[in-house]
Each structure stands twice: as C-alpha cells, then as structure tokens.
Structure 1
Amino acid sequence: MKLAPRSLFARNVLLLVALVAVSQVCATAVLLHFIQTPRIERAASAFASYIVTLDTLLRTTPPDAAQTVTSHLDMRADLPAGAAPFTPESRLHFYETYQRRTFVESLRRHLPADLLVRWQSGDTSDDGQQRLWIRAHLSDEPRWIALPVPEAAHGDGIATALLLSLGLGALATGTAYVIQRHLNRPLAHLADAARRVSAGGDPGVLPNDGPTEIAEVSDAFNRMTAALREADATRALMLAGISHDIRTPMTKLRLAMAMSSVPSMDASFAASAEGYLETIDTILQQFMDYAGSGAKEMPVVGDLNALIANLAADFAGLGHEFTLELGEVQPFAFRPISMMRMLMNVMQNAVLYGVVGLEARTWTDARTRSVCVVIADRGKGLAGQDPEALKQPFRRGGGEGQPKGTGLGLAIVERIARLHGGTLELRPREGGGAEVRIVLPL
C-alpha cells in the first residue's frame, strides 16, 4: 500500500494503535449488546408493568373524580405538538440516542397496543425538559400523561467511560512506542555499522544483548566484519610482501647500474632503465595506496583550504599553476594523510590529463552541512566515457597519447572520500574539460 509507512517502527506502532482501537470498539459493542441492552430492556419491562397498573387504576376512576386526577397528574386530551413517535437522532450524543431508542422500542413491545408512547425532546417543551408521553385511559377516556425524564439519567457515566478508554488507548500507544524504540535501537546500530563498513571504516563490535533474533543478526554481522578485517589484513600483508620482494631486486639493480660502466657508455639507456624502474615503483605504490584504506588513521581537526594551498604551491614549483578560489571553510575533522593522498591524486590527474586551465575551488554548503571541493581542468574532458566506469579499479580514461598508469587513481580517491562519509563525482566542465567534485560532510 502506498499510504502505509515504510519504516518497520512506524508500521508496528500503527498496527498496535489499530489493534487498541479495534479492541476498544469491540469492548464497547460487547458492553452495549450484552450488558446495556438487556439492562435497558429489563427496566422497560418493569416500567411497562407500572404503566399497565396505572392505566388499570385510571380506568376505574369515577367520572366525578376525573378532573381532580387530571390536575394532579398533568393529563391532557391532546398530545403536544413537539411529541414524536421516535426519539431524535444525534451522532454527537450517540449513546444517549441509543439508550432512548432502545428503551422506547422495548417499552412499546411490552405495552398493550392501545397504550401509545411518544417522546418529546427538551427543545420543543416549554420548560426545556424531556418527557415521555403515555396514552392512558381515565374513566375509559383516552388521556395523555407526561412522565418527565431527568437530564442526569441520560449520560449514565458514558463520558467518563469513553475518557477512560481513550486514556487506556493512549497508554497502550505510548507503551508500544517505548517497546518498539527499544527493539529498533539494535537495528539502528546495525544500519550505522553497515554504513561504516560500506564507507571503508571499522564498525567496531555490535552488542548482542538484545532480543534473540536481533542478537543472532548482530552476532552474524560481527563474524562477517571480523572475516573482512582478516581478509584486509591478509591482503595488505600480501601486497606489502610483494612490494618488498620486488623493490629489493630493484634496489640491487639500481646499485648495479650505478656501479657499472653503463651510465658512462650509454647515458640514454641508463636514463630509460631508470625511468622504467621509477614506473614500476610508482605502480607498486599505487597498489599499496589502494590496499591501505586509511581506516586506522585517526581523524584530527584541520584546515582543508591550507592543505589545498600547500599542494597547489608544490605543483606550482613543478611548473603547474592552479587557480585557487577557496571559500570560507571552517576547520573540521579528517584523516590528514588520506586527505592529502586523495587531493594529490585528483590534482595529479588534472595535471596529467588536463594540462591547462587548472583550477581548485572550495565552498561550504550550509543546507547540507558539507564542504565541496572541485578540481577542474581544460583538457579533452571525458570524451564520452562513463564517469562511473572511470571510478572503477583498473579503468583508465583517455586514448592515444595519454599518460600510462594502473587505473587506480580515481578508485583510491573514491575510497578515501567514502571513508570520510563523502561522495565523488566526475563530470564534464562547462566550457570544456573535466572537473572532479568531492563532497565531504562537516
């Protein structure tokens, strides 16, 4: 159903409220049908016997005493204009209406056919009082006798009963709310832990002291995160071992080349070989950067604009000028080494693939409480490539003549952005080129 709430918390509370309401309605129906209706019918039967007795006495009244009896009992020959065969209906006072209708109908069933019953409401009488009119026989002459119905006899405490029912319903709803909040708290912790895992962080150990079913889910999640941590540690150890084993012969190769006669005899070959060794070392470092999630690095409060300005100054020293438009960004907590690695990768990509029109911009989005960082260039842009595909590991952009690499740069950037709870977006730049937008929550 489209109108049903989506959260389990809201659905359970709504279900409990509906059950309480249905139970109250059922209890009211049982009260009316099995308790109040028989009670009213018994009262109407007893009242009918009194009226029959009174009618019998009035029939035997001598004609010379009829005038005296008429003045004492307020008996009339004609029925007042406001008297009607049926009691007035009122949805607001449904219980009073139900009592009157049940009583009058039961009274008619227990009275002889010649004893008619009429009801007069308060707004049609002279004194504002409700009356029950019975057609009796005074000296065998039909006369209408009025029986006043006190106002206090109508409510019968139903207002108090309804208020008590509403109070019980509100108490049940509040209790259901508290119980459901208690049940939902472990689920909220599980959702937060899952988000931290998806962002590359460490969720810690979830408590498993809640209900049995939720405790089993928390225990399974703890076992899963433990297995993921073990797999990450094994992967990092394996890559570190590979890096060490490869870099050891590379160092020996550099040393052997430096000590040999190759540099003096063939400088171009020595430079080419040194370039290849540097490329291998760079590739190894990228693999290590990708494997190291940075989750163990503790966040510290720092100045993001200062970090970007320092990196831009370093690139300027290498001949790559970045135009800076750094907005007001308050210091916030981030992992400084991971953040520097992320920004350096993005700016390095802009230098390699964009070459010209380098630009770095920052600003604060007050609505989302986040910081936006944009690194842009005026290069060839995305050239029709899928931005999401370029963020995948080992997916490289560009074509012929573009710098070679492992395709891990943007994957590392996205992993670090997610580690900080942020997002990475790669899109064409207006006017040509490409821009990388990183959004980090404050």
Structure 2
Amino acid sequence: MRFGLPRSLLSRNIALLVALVALSQVCSLSVLLHYVQRPRIERASIIFADYVTLLDTTLAAMPAAEGRAAAARLNARSTPPPEVTEAPDDTPPSLIHFFRTWQRDLFVAALQRHLPPDLLVRWDASHDTPSPLQERLWIRVHAAGAPVWISLPMTADARASGISTALVLSAGLALLAALTGYLLQRHLNRPLRELARAARRVSAGDTPPPLPTDGPTEIAAVSHAFNQMTDALKQAEATRALMLAGVSHDIRTPLTKLRLAIAMALPRGSNDALVAASESYLDQIDTILQQFMDYAGSGEREAPKPGDLNALAGQLVADFAGLGHEFEFDEGMLPVFDFQPVAVMRLLMNLMQNAVNYGRAGLAIRTMREGDMACVVIGDRGSGIRAAELERLKEPFSRGANARTHSGGSGLGLAIVDRIARLHGGTLTFRDRAGGGLEAVVRLPLDGSISHPRAT
C-alpha cells in the first residue's frame, strides 16, 4: 500500500503545520536540555560535591565514637548497596522517564568527577523505591577510620524537577498552534469552497452571484478575476442569443418571401417536382435555424416545476406512435420532482428522433430510479457507433458517418441534449445494448439541483 500526501489543501497545510510544530518542539527541548538543564545540573553537582567532601572531612576528623554515632544517624551501612540504576521492568516507558533517567545519569557522572576518587557514588532506583521522591543516592565516606555508605536526599535538579511541567506546556502549546492553524486554514478555505461551487454552477450553464472580495489579498484577487470572467461570459451569452435571434429573424423573412415567390412563379401543376424540392430545401434551412435557437436557449429561461417524467415520456411515445414509430415503453417507479418540462421534452424528442433516424428497429424507452437519480434509457437495434465517436457527437456541429443519409441537421441535436442534461445537474452517456444496438442514458437528479434560470 502506498501512502502519499493528503489531497486537500487543508489536510496538507495541517500536516505541514504539525510537522513544523513538532520540529520546533524538538529543537526547543534540545536547547532546554543542553543549554539550560545541563549547566544547571553541572552547578548542582559541584555544590553537592562540596557538601559531600565537607561531610566526609567532618566525619573523618571526629573521634571514633562520635563519628560512628553520627554515621548511624545518617543510616550508614558497611556493605555497599546494590548497583541498581534502572527503573523496574514493569515501569511503562515515557518521555518523562527518559528525561529523568538522562538527568540522573548526567548528575551522577558530574558528581563523581568532582569528588575525590575514594568517594564512590551509587544510585538506588530499585523496587524498594517505587516513587521518584524515594530514590536514594549512596555515597561512600569515612567515619571512625573505616569506609561506610550513607544515603543522602536528592536535589530537585537531579530528579528532573520542572521537566514534567515543561513537557506538558510544550505539548499544550503544540496543540494550541495546530488548532489555531486548523481554524485559520478553515477560514481561508471557505472562499475557495465558494469559488468551487460557483465554478460548478458556471459549468452547468448558470450565472452565480458575485463572490465577495473582502478576504485576504490573494483570495480577493482570485474572486475578483472570477467575477470578471462570469460577467464576460454573461455578456457573451447575451450577445450570442441576440445575434442568433437577429440572424434567425433576418433569414426567415427572406425565406418566407422566397417561399411565396416560388409559389407564385410556379403555379401548381406546372412543375410539382421542382416546387417540392425547393420547399424541402427551405424546410431544411428553417430546421437548422430552429436548432441554432434551441442550442442558444436550451431551456435556460424556463422555470423548473414539479413534473411526472413517466407521463412526459408516455405522451411522447404516443405522439411517435401516431407518426408510425412504435416505441416499447417500460415505465419504472419515479417520484414527482422538479425539472424544466419543455427542455426535458426537447431532450427526449431529440434522442427518440435519433433512434428513429439511425436505429429504425427495436425502438424502446424505459424509466427507472438509480439512487437519487431519475434515469431514462432510449434504445434501438441499429448498427451502433463506437463510444469515442458518440462522445465526440456531443460537441456542437459534430455529425456521425451515418448522418450523411439524413440531411436537414446541423450537428446540434446531441449537443442540445447534453446541454439540457447538464443544466439539470445530470448526465448523458451511451452504451452498447444487450443483443445489439445502442442505448442513450439520461440521468437527472431527484433532489432539485437544477440551476436557476438566468435573468433576462
């Protein structure tokens, strides 16, 4: 299993912050140990060595009886204590134990260096001393002319006094720094999430409200640039719609005059074949113009309303049956949900007309529910097209190789269907049909995630 960097910016920044805090804590503890604790322990060992040397000199100078009595008051023993410098095996390892052991060993080594060679030092951390406050330091001194071992109380420096507090404070500061970084990153990520949502709305054909530009300078610059982009897209969209409406109006007017002129120039019965051909060409031009207008609009100005997708599909099946094209209709269980009825009707009509034109046989349509999506599948038994070409046909002005026998189109049929599906937050996909042929699959969300219509 491979472990890579976290994918989100929040996770990466938090991981980086935690790593930096951990590194700073390690550096701080290293400075504390080597430049604060070590000199402190060194000074304590010098003072303690002077105290032990003075005690040894005093006991050695006292009369024998008084020296033995003084040594007895110090719990002196003639036999050396066991050499025990490690904690019991059942003591769980911890950072506090590590620092306490480090300071203890450092103190004993420094003390032994500052004592005369015949004054030996041993540390007793055996099972008989379960608490750090009961640990004993044994030192061999001379009383009544004989060496004896006495235990002396330990200084706070040798018992890691203050280290526990320092470690707890360090851990608390590290957690506070990580929490602060997390909150700051959440605050910075909020405008980025809003930018991502706005970008998705633009890709679905909607115009989102302007993003706020009162945040950090870098985020504000990005939001300002995005607002400028959406304004430019909105203006371009309005210009395109106006241009297509003007072109459609300006072309349809002479087309109508041309149709009238042909009817007047060629009276009925004089050349019916030429009249029929001319009217067919005019109808094709009018159809192409209508497809341009449909693609420019694609239902963007239609308000969504609750509707029955099964009823809409059933109505179209009946309409196509009246034209001599029988579709097998398999009606699934679908709830009423919000969609644009005219746009969705255009979507289904285009797909059904493609099935009639290119599939001819085995026409079928079925509806079903897939999770939180309403699904419509339109199939035929035609020769089929490769998936790569079908994806290409979703682009405007793209036509398949078998479209040459079907004139009157501009290559915008599937582009219109794909645009309407995306406007609803759905998808258009193609797949091979079991037993041969092709299926077009439209999925629309049931949760009403359709983009709001643009203002005109």
> With structure 2 as the length reference, what TM-score do the two structures score?
0.88
Structure 1's 159 and 336: CA in aligned 2 closer, same or farther, altered over 3 A? farther
The reply to whether residue 340 of structure 1 matches residue 345 of structure 2 is yes
Please give the alpha-carbon distance, in whole angstroms, between the structure 1 residues aligned to 2:261 and 2:172: 90
Deviations 1:369-397 (A, max 9, x none): 22222111112211687222222222222
CA 1:157–1:324: 2 relative to 1, 3 Å: farther
Aligned to 1:31: 32
Distance in 2 separating the partners of 1:194 and 1:53: 82
Offset of residue 30 of structure 1: 2.2
Aligned: 1:322 with 2:327: yes
- 1:221-300 map, 5 Å: 221-258=226-263, 262-300=267-305
Match for 1:71: what amino acid?
A
Letter aligned with residue 411 of structure 1: A
1:53-202 equivalences in 2 (<5 Å):
53-81=54-82, 83-84=83-84, 86=85, 88=87, 91-92=93-94, 93-124=97-128, 129-149=134-154, 154=159, 156-202=161-207
> Residues 106, 383 of structure 1: CA spacing in aligned structure 2 closer, same or farther, 3 A cutoff?
closer
Contact 1:383/1:398 (<8 A) preserved = no
Q: SS at 2:429's partner residue?
A: strand
Provide the rounded CA distance (Å) in 1 between the counterparts of 2:157 and 2:185. Answer: 43
Q: Secondary structure at the match of 2:402?
A: coil
> Higher mean Cα deviation, 186-195 or 298-307?
298-307
Residue 392 of structure 2 aligns to which amino acid in structure 1? A
Partner of 2:41: 40
Deviation at 1:49, TM superposition (A): 0.8
Out of 388, 391, 401, the residue aligned to residue 388 of structure 1 is 391
Q: Which moved more, 1:232-241 or 1:16-25?
A: 16-25
For the residue of structure 2 that corresponds to 1:375, the secondary structure is strand
Contact between 1:352 and 1:403, CA under 8 Å: does it hold in 2?
A: yes
> Which runs of 5 or more structure 1 residues have no equivalent in the other structure?
none
- Cα distance in 1 for residues equivalent to 2:378 and 2:246: 35
Is the contact between residue 208 and residue 218 of structure 1 (CA under 8 Å) also seen in structure 2? Answer: yes
- The CA RMSD measured in Å over matched residues stands at 2.7
* Per-residue CA distance 1:235-280 (angstroms, 9 max, x = gap): 2212111111111122223334455662243444333332222222
* Secondary structure in 2 matching 1:49: helix
Residue number among 316, 338, 345 corresponding to 1:311 in the alignment: 316
- Separation in 2 of the partners of 1:35 and 1:211? 41
Q: Could you tell me which amino acid in structure 2 is paired with residue 276 of structure 1?
A: Y
Q: CA deviation at 1:132?
A: 0.8
Asked if the contact 1:393/1:407 (under 8 Å) is kept, the reply is yes
Give the letter for the 1:220 counterpart. Answer: A
- Aligned residues of 2:14 and 2:181 also touching (Cα < 8 A): yes
Deviates more, 1:328-337 or 1:131-140: 328-337
Kept in 2, the 8 Å contact 1:257–1:263? The answer is no
Q: State how far apart, in whole Å, the 1-side matches of 2:154 and 2:184 are.
A: 49
Residue 113 of structure 1 aligns with an amino acid whose one-letter code is P
Shift of the 52–392 alpha-carbon distance from structure 1 to 2, 3 Å rule, reads same
What do the CA deviations read for 1:45-103 (whole angstroms, capped 9, x no partner)? 1111111011001112323445433432221221123x34x555984112221221222
Deviation at 1:399, TM superposition (A): 2.8
Q: 1:158 to 1:396 in 2, by over 3 A?
A: same
Q: Give the TM-score taking structure 1 as reference length.
A: 0.91
The match for 1:219 is 224
Deviation for aligned residue 1:133: 0.7
Question: Distance in 2 between the 1:385 and 1:218 partners?
Answer: 36
Distance 1:61 1:400, change over 3 A: closer
Summarize deviations over 1:129-187 as a string: whole Å, max 9, x none: 42111011113321111225599983524334333332322222222112111111111
Aligned to 1:349: 354
Give the aligned partner of residue 444 of structure 2: 440
Q: Flag the 1:250–1:125 CA change in 2: closer, same or farther, 3 A.
A: closer
Aligned length: 438
Identity %: 56
For the pair 1:376 / 2:382, whether they are aligned, the reply is no
Residues 382 and 398, structure 1, Cα contact 8 Å, conserved in 2: no
- For 2:387 and 2:228, how far apart are their aligned partners in 1? 43
Q: After superposition, what is the alpha-carbon deviation per residue over 1:186-243, rounded to whole angstroms, capped at 9, x for unaligned?
A: 1111122222222222233222111111111111111122112222222221211111
Contact 2:124 2:136 (C-alpha < 8 Å) held by counterparts = yes
Question: In the aligned structure 1, how far is the partner of 2:63 from the partner of 2:434?
Answer: 113
The question of whether the paired residues in 2 share the 8 Å contact of 1:202 and 1:295 is answered with: no
- Cα gap change, 1:297/1:168 in structure 2, threshold over 3 Å: closer, same or farther? farther
Quick one: structure 1 residues 126 and 224, their matched pair in 2 at CA, closer, same or farther if it must change by over 3 Å?
A: closer
CA contact (8 A) 2:389 2:400 kept: no
Residues 99-130 of structure 1, C-alpha deviation per residue, up to 9 Å, x if partnerless?
A: 21222122112111111100111415699942
Identify the residue that residue 417 of structure 1 maps to in structure 2: 421
Q: Which moved more, 1:126-135 or 1:158-167?
A: 126-135
CA distance in 2, matches of 1:216, 1:400: 48
**Residue 159 to residue 58, structure 1, CA distance change in 2 (3 Å):** same
